[in-house]
Every structure is written in structure tokens, then in C-alpha cells.
Structure 1
């Protein structure tokens, strides 16, 4: 979502949620784990295929924006209930055409990060 330019049409991207078994061996660097992107996903794909894992949930980019606008976390029961709202489809259509600026809203709702302590 951070890569999206407010006011421009959204790219056709998706958010995926996997349930990873304990035997999954993903060797990601700290930086990769902090900001998974397309290259990181390509690196994980062989392991996902080997384990025959399927995504548990797939959420379209516009649906993720709609949830963020409503202050709802993705992949939760509350997020699944959003599709019953009266403005759900019209708002998502508008978001696809012109992405809103959620930067301020996300900064306000983000919990403070814990301080790192070095011993």
C-alpha cells in the first residue's frame, strides 16, 4: 500500500495469507522479512510449491484499501463482514479508479513500536 500514489488508479495486486507448517524452512534476511515484496515472494515460491501450500485468504488491493479506510485489519472476521456494508462495492470501484491517501490515517492507528534494547 505504501507504493501506491494517492489519486492514481490502483495496480491489480493481491495480499495473500498462508498457514505455514513448522517444517517450512524460509531463510529470509531481516530486511526481507520486514518488507516482503515481489522478489521475496519469488524466493519463497519453491518452498511453497514443495510443501503444496495454498493461500488461506486472497485479498484484492482495493479491498485492502477499503478495510484500511474503515479501520479494519485484514484477515480478521471483521474484514470478512465488510462486504455486507451498503457502500462496499461502490467504494471499491472508486478506490480502483483513484487511490485515497491513507498515510495520515495509518500513522494515527499504528501502535508504537517497542524500543530495542541491547545488552
Structure 2
């Protein structure tokens, strides 16, 4: 990775990788290329969802909101892969309840988990499945 200053005030980070076309990453990049997906946007979304929380954590700036947003995006990818492979979707863990002083009267509330929208067209996956 290199950081290259551009004209003006903005600096861009340029990432270049070499990979074997038959490797897993090579096949994934080939898929993006062959299916006319905007590779730059798809890769940026995935990298952000996976690594932005780590970068924020190192800086001491990771919030629950950032984590939840990124987890939601990653769950979208997981859901799409499960659908493509014909796997049963794994239920998301329910959030922990805050402790209350009146534990004897506490009734567990069911929280409906809403699956995030996958960051790409799920109907296209069904078409690929045949």
C-alpha cells in the first residue's frame, strides 16, 4: 500500500496486489470483473465493513454504532452466501438484556432481528444458482 498525495488537499491511498488467477482471491476478482460489477465500489464496501472497526479500535474511536453498522453489512454478505449455497441461515444472537434490579419480575422480551439488506442484488444470486 502506498499513500500518494494528489493535486489539491486530498490524499489518496492506492492499493495494488498481484495474485494468481486460480487462487481464491484471483477467482473472486475474476468474478467481479466478469459480472460487470463496479469492482472499486464492491471492494471498498467489503474492506470498510471488515476493517474499519479494527482501524477505529486502534485509534480508540470504535463505537457501538460503527460496529453495528459494519456487522450489519457483513451479515448481508453472509446471508447472500447462505442463500447461494442453499444453507439454512444461522440466526443472529439476540442482544443481551440490561440487568435490572427487579430480577424476580423480569420477563425476557423477544427481540425480532431484522436481517440487513445484502449490499448487492440477491435476485442475481438466485439467477446464478439456476
Largest Rg, 1 or 2? 2
Pair in the same fold by TM > 0.5: no
| TM-score (normalizing by structure 2) | 0.23
Q: Which has the higher contact order (CA 8 A, sep 6+)?
A: 1
Query: Whose helix proportion is higher, 1 or 2?
Result: 2
TM-score for the superposition, normalised by structure 1: 0.25
